[in-house]
Amino acid sequence: MIALLAGPAAAQQPVQKYGEPDPDKTPAQIESEKRAERAYQKSLGNVPNAAPTDPWGTVRQDGPAKTAATPANRNKPGSSAKATGAAK
């Protein structure tokens, strides 16, 4: 039963065996490949040059962790923040 189904599928086109040389291309196929290559090269010229992006840049830590929780003017003389427990 399986052999009956596989027969027509294998007969549809010739299969290149291992070690056989590639079949010669027709002039129409050669011209078609040249046009496709030129179109590909032209499309590469239309792509703008963009700087590389790093989508994980905000997640990855390149250096030591930065602490932004402490304000810079805390407990400095002359600041508007009042120091607690300090005698003047």
Q: What is the pLDDT of residue 72?
A: 57
Q: What is the pLDDT of residues 16-34, one digit of tens each?
A: 888 888 889 999 999 999 9
pLDDT at 37 (0 to 100): 97
pLDDT of residue 41: 93
Q: According to the model, what pLDDT value does residue 78 have?
A: 60
pLDDT under 70 in the chain at which residues?
Answer: 1, 3-11, 62-88
How would DSSP label each residue in 25-51?
PPHHHHHHHHHHHHHHHHHHHTSPP--
